[in-house]
Amino acid sequence: MAQVRLIGENVEQGIYSFQQAMRIADDLNLDLVEIAPTATPPVCRVVDYQKFLYAQKKKQKEAKANAKKQEIKEIRFGPQTDDHDYNFKLKHAIEFLKEGNKVKSYVFFRGRSIVFKEQGELLLARFANDLAEYGKPDNVPNLEGKRMILNISPKSQKG
């Protein structure tokens, strides 16, 4: 590394030899940090390295805080859920999907109601169909123990 492009505050920007760049950084009691090693010549910045690391960590933390966290919201049905309850739960599911959350809907079979498996499948199929414009099912309804589960992911909102 014979020459580097030097940038930073209180520094004459330009191309210097590596030794000159180190001397400039030492004179200012700062560090010489390589920013872009693939550039020709490599770019180095004269900066307080601890402050530089602190600023980078702060940026990463802010980016992480601004990222949307996706939650899984559960909606529970019985095998003979009537229309009013169904529509109420459908309205909530639409809100959840609009917010960008996943919806885990399931029919819970209690006692001997397991004989109504077909009703549970029809209910979840109707639910997935009614939510088609807001989200899409991840899988087909499957029976796990006393629950028939269907997961629905939100459609990506562009713009």
Q: Is the pLDDT of residue 1 over 70?
A: no
Task: Please say if the pLDDT value at position 158 is more than 60.
Answer: no
Q: Give the domain CATH number at 89.
A: 3.30.110.10
- How many degrees, rounded to 5, is the angle at CA 81 between CA 79 and CA 83? 145
* Shared domain check, 60 and 87: no
Q: Which domain holds residue 105?
A: 72-154
Cβ neighbors of 94 (< 8 A, separation 6 or more) are: 131, 134
Query: Do 23 and 86 belong to one domain?
Result: no
Domain C-terminal end among 66, 88, 118: 66
What pLDDT is stored for residue 57 in this prediction? 94
For residue range 7-44, what is the model confidence (pLDDT) as tens digits? 988 888 999 999 999 999 999 999 998 989 898 899 99
**How confident is the model at residue 82, as a pLDDT?**
87
Domain CATH number, residue 32: 3.10.20.80
* Average pLDDT score over residue span 65-78: 83
Residue 117 near residue 86, CB atoms below 8 Å: no
One domain for residues 147 and 123: yes
For residue 26, being part of any structural domain is answered with yes
What pLDDT was estimated at residue 88? 93
* Total number of domains constituting the chain: 2
- Chosen domain end from 48, 66, 84: 66
- The better pLDDT of the pair 59, 116 is held by 59
Residue 90 is assigned to a structural domain of this protein: yes
**Residue count (the chain):** 159
- Asked if residue 81 and residue 61 are part of one domain, the reply reads no
20/76 same-domain check: no
Cα dihedral 117/121/126/132 (nearest 10): 160
* pLDDT higher than 60, residue 66: yes
| pLDDT tens figures, 79-121 | 888 889 999 999 999 999 888 889 999 988 888 777 778 888 8
Spatial neighbors of 140 by CB under 8 A, at least 6 apart, are: 150
Is 141 a member of any domain? yes
